[in-house]
Amino acid sequence: MNPHETALPLRLVALALACLTLAACVDQDVANTHAHDEERHATRETRGEQQPAGTVIPAAIAARSGLRVVPAVAGVIADEHEVQGLITPVEGRVARVTARYPGPVRALRANVGDRVRAGQALATIHSNLSLTSYSVDAPIAGIVLARNASVGELAGEGAPLFEIADLSTVWVDLHVFGADAAHLAPGHAVTVSRMGDEKRAIRTTIDRILPGTATASQSTIARASLPNPDGLWRPGSAVQARVTVDETPVALAVPLAALQRMDDADVVFVREGERYLPRKVTPGRRDARNVEIVSGLRAGERVVVEQSFLVKADIEKAGASHGH
C-alpha cells in the first residue's frame, strides 16, 4: 500500500460526513464542510504523490457512505419507447346535464370539482312552460368537470348546465409518432408518470391501438386504462410513459448508476478488498435502468452500483489537490 492510499479514507470520511450532514441539516453544517476541506487540502499537500489509479475505503466507511457493491452479472436490456400522453375520461362515463324545460336558473347546488351521487340535485330551474320549479339531478355518480350556468340566467332547452364524469378509471391516450407506432401493440407493459415526477409511476398495459390517426398531430393513439380511486389523474393533464416493447438478454449489465466518466473514458469502479479501482469499460445498449458492458469487465467482478460518484469524487479530489 503506498502512503497516499492510507490518507484517502480521511478524505472520504469528510466527503461522506459532508453529504450526510448537509442532507440532514443544511444551515449548520456548511461551516463544518469548509473545515473538512481545509483538513483535506492540508493532508494532500503534505504528501505530493502522483495522480492515483484508485483509492482505499475501509468497509465501515463504505457502508456509512452508502456505497453498494454487487457482482457483475448477465442482465436484460429493454427496448423501451418514451412517449407522451393525455389523461382522458372513459367514453360513456361522462354525462352532460341539461335543463328539460327552458327557464331561469333559481339555484345551483354543485360546483366544479364536487363529487356527486347519482340522483343528487344539481340545480333548480323555474320552467317557463309550467311556471313551476323543477330539480335537475345528476344522472351518474362522478365529479363535476364543468358548470355552464349562473343563477338568474336563462337555461335553454337542451343546453348543458353541468358536465359530470366518473373518473374512478381513466384512459391514458399515448400519442405515438412515425416508426414508433409500428413497435407498439396491445399487451405491452406501460409505466405512466406525471410530467417531471417519475417517482410516483403506475404500471399498466396497452389495451388497444386506435385504428385512426389523430389528424392534427398525425399521431397514432395507444390507449391504456388507469385506476384512479383518489382522482389524482386529472383529465387533460399531460403524462409521460415508458412502453416496454421487448427485452434482450445480455452477457453483462450493470445499473446506469455504476457508470462514470473519468479522463474522457467510461469507467466502473471495481472493488478488490478495500481498494476501489476505476476500470475502463465499453458500454453497449442501455435502457432506463441498466447498461450492457461489452468489454472491460468480467462476470463476478464486484462493481460499485450505488454512490459511485463518491468514489470518483474521492479519486478526483486527490488529483486536484496535487495541482496546488
Using CB under 5 A as the binding rule, whether residue 82 contacts Zn ion is answered as: no
Question: Residues binding Zn ion: what is the number (CB under 5 A)?
Answer: 3
Residue 183: CB minimum distance to Zn ion, A = 4
Taking the least distance from each CB to Zn ion, the nearer of 79 and 272 is: 79
Pick left, alpha or beta for residue 218 (phi over 0 → left; psi -120 to 50 → alpha; otherwise beta): left
**Nearest-angstrom CA–CA distance, 258 and 305:** 4
Contact window for Zn ion (CB under 5 A) among 137-145, 161-169, 222-230, 241-249: 241-249
Using CB under 5 A as the binding rule, whether residue 298 contacts Zn ion is answered as: no
Residue 278 cell numbers, joined = 476505476
Contact window for Zn ion (CB under 5 A) among 40-48, 73-81, 117-125, 236-244: 73-81
Residues 137-166 within binding reach of Zn ion (CB under 5 A): none
If residue 180 lies in a helix (H) or strand (E), which one and from where to where?
helix 180-183
Contact window for Zn ion (CB under 5 A) among 67-75, 79-87, 109-117, 121-129: 79-87
CB 155 within 8 A of CB 161: yes
Q: Long-range contacts: 37-40, Cβ < 8 Å, 24+?
A: 39/10, 39/14, 40/10, 40/11, 40/14, 40/317, 40/321
Residue 263: CB minimum distance to Zn ion, A = 34
Contact window for Zn ion (CB under 5 A) among 71-79, 96-104, 146-154, 289-297: 71-79
Taking the least distance from each CB to Zn ion, the nearer of 62 and 78 is: 78
Residue 284: CB minimum distance to Zn ion, A = 16
Give the residue from 302, 291, 287, 298 showing the smallest Cα distance to 266. Answer: 291
Cell 409500428, residue located: 182
Buried b / exposed e along 66-78 (16+ C-beta atoms within 10 A): ebbbeebeebebb
Applying CB under 5 A, among 34, 100, 183, 203 the residue interacting with Zn ion is 183
Using CB under 5 A as the binding rule, whether residue 79 contacts Zn ion is answered as: yes
CB 237 within 8 A of CB 282: no
Q: Is 160 helix (H, G, I), strand (E, B) or coil?
A: strand
Applying CB under 5 A, among 245, 250, 262, 294 the residue interacting with Zn ion is 245
Residue 158: CB minimum distance to Zn ion, A = 48
**Shortest-Cβ-distance residue relative to Zn ion:** 183
Using CB under 5 A as the binding rule, whether residue 185 contacts Zn ion is answered as: no
Taking the least distance from each CB to Zn ion, the nearer of 16 and 83 is: 83
Interface residue list for Zn ion (CB under 5 A): 79, 183, 245
